[in-house]
């Protein structure tokens, strides 16, 4: 993971250098003054395929099988559209790093990337850099998608991105282990703790010193915001900032559960979990060395793969509950947006709409267990056969808890960064949750200007 991070850091540096050169600024120390925002690029340039080849670059994710799946969709588009080359640009795994890369392109108003894969939390923060897909034919298909995601992607009436796949946090558990130790899947965090501790102890005694109870996303990044929001929401501790723009994070229920999670480090979870992203957790899990894992649906098909040590021996359930009595899953997911700086926005929009259409979402669902945003795909037999949990956990997907990105736009990334840093400092034992959240609420007030509840 570190190597991949390094690779991306290098790439960011190169891009920063390019951006400053482009902006006519020789030094790399000071970021180039952004030009006066140019008049928004006129979207409606008629994109007559002029006989000349057009290249469309799609900046896409590479977690799990994402990159291969996106490349395959690009091939299908090219088969149907001779004269168009679709390049897929591999971007960093961690959401913050990917955002950093995108911001460099935006600052340069670069036409290098035409289509961006954007997180469900970014439409509000990034809306100004994208075209309105309503003006490029999305209106014909948008009603097929979950209305809540369409609403999330609509900023001031503008459809910033077409929904591509949705995500919700799940609990992965080892069916063979629960059978061996005579447990039912845990429904509360306390039960999970108890089971994870006993299974870990038993498996270590049975000769696997690497076995751990529970892996999840504890690195200081967006993934931790997702995990921590699940703990807090399941414990009746709110959503950091409420939809009506009150700062709610400094409350006893939130404090209590984050302190509880800090107690997992070095007990049921490895100390290294405070540096784990999704793929680190999956590596431990898929190697057969964890009883439980919190992750997104993409890990399901990979876990059932022929090279997985846990194939046939795991299932998924809703995440455990705290005081609220019900588990909470954070809403995740990714969309495709067309850059306002693209030289070929019409063709770029065609690519985006193609990649997000029924057939392509179906392939991604069947092959990569990436949850469709097109509702009818949840009735599709092949999709359900590959992913029975799309049906059995349907409620989890449609009731997933949103991060406060709409309420805090365009400052969501700053809000989330302050939050995950505060939680991370509790996990690493630098402070306790009461102290961390007392400071955090003031930071959030500075960032947003909202009142504290």
Q: How far is the CB of 119 from ligand GLC (least distance, A)?
A: 5
Classified as helix, coil or strand, 333 is: strand
Q: Which residue is nearest to ligand GLC (CB)?
A: 332
Distance CA 88, CA 67 (A): 8
Query: Reduced to 3 DSSP states, what percent helix, strand and coil does the chain have, rounded to the nearest 5?
Result: 50, 15, 35
Enter the tokens of residue 147: 């209305």
By beta-carbon proximity to ligand GLC, the closer residue of 199 and 370 is 370
By beta-carbon proximity to ligand GLC, the closer residue of 88 and 95 is 95
CB 222 within 8 A of CB 385: no
Residues within the interface to ligand GLC (CB under 6 A): 95, 119-121, 167, 222-223, 226, 278, 296, 332-334
Q: How far is the CB of 301 from ligand GLC (least distance, A)?
A: 15
By beta-carbon proximity to ligand GLC, the closer residue of 88 and 228 is 228
Q: How far is the CB of 68 from ligand GLC (least distance, A)?
A: 16
Distance CA 93, CA 70 (A): 15
Q: Which residues have CB under 8 Å from 130's CB, separation 6+? A: 116, 160, 161, 337, 338, 339, 340
By beta-carbon proximity to ligand GLC, the closer residue of 317 and 330 is 330
By beta-carbon proximity to ligand GLC, the closer residue of 264 and 334 is 334
C-alpha closest to that of 148 among 217, 243, 63: 243
Distance CA 316, CA 344 (A): 42
Q: How far is the CB of 65 from ligand GLC (least distance, A)?
A: 13
Helices (H), 304-449: 345-355, 358-368, 381-386, 388-392, 394-398, 405-408, 412-427, 433-448
Distance CA 292, CA 281 (A): 10
By beta-carbon proximity to ligand GLC, the closer residue of 178 and 258 is 258
CA distances from 27 to 13, 23, 30, 228 (A): 13, 11, 7, 40
Q: How far is the CB of 227 from ligand GLC (least distance, A)?
A: 9
Q: Report the Cα 167 to chain-centroid distance in Å.
A: 7
Q: How far is the CB of 49 from ligand GLC (least distance, A)?
A: 34
By beta-carbon proximity to ligand GLC, the closer residue of 222 and 236 is 222
By beta-carbon proximity to ligand GLC, the closer residue of 248 and 330 is 330
Q: How far is the CB of 54 from ligand GLC (least distance, A)?
A: 30
Q: How far is the CB of 381 from ligand GLC (least distance, A)?
A: 26
């Amino acid at each position: 993971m570190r190597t991949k991070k390094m690779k991306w850091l290098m790439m960011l540096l190169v891009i920063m250098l390019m951006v400053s050169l482009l902006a006519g600024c020789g030094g790399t120390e000071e970021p180039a003054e952004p030009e006066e925002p140019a008049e928004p690029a006129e979207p409606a340039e008629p994109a007559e395929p002029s006989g000349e080849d057009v290249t469309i670059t799609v900046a896409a994710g590479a977690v799990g099988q994402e990159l291969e799946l996106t490349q395959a969709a690009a091939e299908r588009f090219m088969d149907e559209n001779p004269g168009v080359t679709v390049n897929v640009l591999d971007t960093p795994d961690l959401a913050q790093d990917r955002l950093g890369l995108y911001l460099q392109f935006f600052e340069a108003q670069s036409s290098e990337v035409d289509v961006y894969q954007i997180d469900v939390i970014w439409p509000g923060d990034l809306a100004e850099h994208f075209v309105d897909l309503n003006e490029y034919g999305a209106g014909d298909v948008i009603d097929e998608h979950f209305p809540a995601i369409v609403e999330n992607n609509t900023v001031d009436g503008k459809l910033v991105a077409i929904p591509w796949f949705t995500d919700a946090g799940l609990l992965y558990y080892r069916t063979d282990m629960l059978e061996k130790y005579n447990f039912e899947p845990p429904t509360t965090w306390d039960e999970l703790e108890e089971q994870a501790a006993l299974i870990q102890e038993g498996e270590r005694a049975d000769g696997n010193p690497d076995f751990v109870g529970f892996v999840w996303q504890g690195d200081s990044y967006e993934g931790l915001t997702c995990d921590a929001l699940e703990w807090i929401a399941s414990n009746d501790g709110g959503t950091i900032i409420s939809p009506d723009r009150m700062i709610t994070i400094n409350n006893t229920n939130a404090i209590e559960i984050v302190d509880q999670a800090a107690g997992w480090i070095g007990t049921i979870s490895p100390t290294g979990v405070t540096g784990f992203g999704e793929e680190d957790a999956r590596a431990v899990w898929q190697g057969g060395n964890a009883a439980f894992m919190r992750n997104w649906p993409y890990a399901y098909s990979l876990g059932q793969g022929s090279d997985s040590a846990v194939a046939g021996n795991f299932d998924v359930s809703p995440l455990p509950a705290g005081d609220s009595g019900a588990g909470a899953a954070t809403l995740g997911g990714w969309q495709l947006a067309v850059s306002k700086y693209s030289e070929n926005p019409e063709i770029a929009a065609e690519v985006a709409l193609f990649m997000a259409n029924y057939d392509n979402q179906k392939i991604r669902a069947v092959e990569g267990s990436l949850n469709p945003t097109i509702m009818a795909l949840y009735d599709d037999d092949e999709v359900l056969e590959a992913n029975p949990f799309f049906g059995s956990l349907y409620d989890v997907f449609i009731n997933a808890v949103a991060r406060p990105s709409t309420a805090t736009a365009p400052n969501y990334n700053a809000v989330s960064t302050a939050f995950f840093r505060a939680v991370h400092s509790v996990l690493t034992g630098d402070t306790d949750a009461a102290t961390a959240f007392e400071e955090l609420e003031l930071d959030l007030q500075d960032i947003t200007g909202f009142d504290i509840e």
